Amino acid sequence: MAKTDTAAQFETLRREIETGSLSPVYILMGEEPFYPERLCALITEKALQPHERDFNQTILYGADTSVDDIITTCERYPMMAERTLVVVREAQALKKPEGLSVYLDHISPTTVLVLLFSGKSMDKRTSFYKKAAKSCVIFESVKVREEAMPRWIESYFRSLGRTIEPQGAMLLAEYAGNDLRKISVEADKVLKAISESSDRVTAADIEQNVGISREFNTSELTAALASRDGDKAFRIAWFFGQSPRQYPLQMTLGFMFFFFSKAEMMHALMLRDRISPKDAAAKAGVYYSYAGPYLAAVRNYDLRKTMRIISWIRECDWLSKSNSGGSTTENGLLTDLIAKILSA
C-alpha cells in the first residue's frame, strides 16, 4: 500500500478484516506503531475463535526465532479449525528475513502469517520486499505531522462516537505530541471520566482528566504573543520554568516556529493573491476554528517582523543546543525570546 493517508488505508483494511476476509500474509510496519498494533490485534481476534487458539495460534518474536522456525510453524495443519495464525512480533529483529522468500513461493492456504514491525519499516530495496509486494498485504504507518494532530484527534474522537472541541484537541495534541498510542490512552481515560450522555469533550474535560493546564500551555503562549499580551506571555514562561520536564524548551520552540511560519505564509498569500487574512488562513491550511490567533498575529506583526521572529526562534533553538548560551537556563532563553518578539 502507498504511504499516503494512513488512516484511510487502516479503515479499508479494518473493514475487510472485520468481515472475516483475511489474507494469507500481512506485513504491518512503519515508524508509527499505533495502526499496525491495532490491525494485528484485530487479525488475532478475527482469525480464530477463542477455543481454537490453544492449538492453532503461535506468537513468535523476531529476536528469539529464525526464518526456518517461522516457515515450519506456518506449514503446520490446523487442528479442529479452518486455519492457523502465526504472529511474528518485533519482526525487525529477525535475522536474514530474506529467507522467507521461500515461503512466499508456497504460501500455506490454511495459515495467516503476520509480520509485525515495531516502529520500523522493512527495507524496500530487498528482493524479499519486492516479492512480498506482489503477494502480501503490506501496510505502512507513517507519523502524523504535529501540525496535523488536532484534526487527527478530532477524527479519532468521532470514530469513538464523540466529538471534541477544537481547544480540547489542541490541548491534547500539545500534551501527547504525535504519539498516537499515548493519545488513545488519554482519550480512553477522558471518556471513562465523563458522563456517557455527554457526546462532546471540552477543553475543561481534557484539563481535568489529562493533567494539563488550560491556562498555561504553548497554544496559549502563541495566542498571547499574537495579541501582544506581554503579562500573560511572561506568566506562561514562568510556569514553564517551574515544570521543565513537562514543558521542554524544544517542544515550545517547535510550536512557536510552526505558528509564526503559518503567519508568514498568510502574509505571503495576502501579498501574492491580494486576498483577505481569513482567505489566506484557509489557503495556508489553518483550520477555521483555530484561525483567531493567526489572524491576530498577522494584524500585529507585518511580514518583515514575522520573518525576524522566525530567525529569533531559530537562534534560540541553536543557543539551547550549543554552548553559546553560556550559563543562561532554558527558561531564561525563552524569556529573552518572548521579550524580543513583543518588542518587534
Give the confidence band of 151 by pLDDT, cuts at 50, 70, 90.
confident
Predicted local distance difference test score (pLDDT) of residue 128: 87
Alpha helices in the chain (DSSP H): 6-18, 34-47, 53-56, 67-74, 101-105, 127-135, 149-159, 166-176, 180-193, 203-210, 218-226, 230-242, 249-273, 277-283, 291-300, 303-321, 330-343
Give the confidence band of 50 by pLDDT, cuts at 50, 70, 90.
very high
Of 217, 182, 186, 218, the residue nearest 201 (C-alpha): 186
Give the confidence band of 213 by pLDDT, cuts at 50, 70, 90.
low
Contacts of 180 (CB under 8 A, 6+ apart): 32, 34, 35, 144, 152
Contacts of 57 (CB under 8 A, 6+ apart): 44, 47, 48, 84, 85, 87
Whether pLDDT at 162 is above 70: yes
Query: Alpha-carbon Rg of the chain, whole angstroms?
Result: 25
Interval 246-271: pLDDT, tens? 788 888 898 899 899 999 999 999 99
Predicted local distance difference test score (pLDDT) of residue 1: 40
Whether pLDDT at 3 is above 60: no
Mean pLDDT within 304-333:
88
Whether pLDDT at 57 is above 70: yes
Predicted local distance difference test score (pLDDT) of residue 127: 85
> pLDDT averaged over the chain?
89
Mean pLDDT within 6-33:
92
Interval 282-298: pLDDT, tens? 888 887 777 899 999 99
CA 111, CA 114: separation in Å to the nearest integer?
A: 10
Q: What is the pTM of this model?
A: 0.69
Percent of the chain with pLDDT over 90: 59
Mean pLDDT within 118-122:
89
Q: Which residue in this structure is represented by grid cell 531559530? A: 314
CA 16, CA 244: separation in Å to the nearest integer?
A: 45
- Chain length of the chain: 344
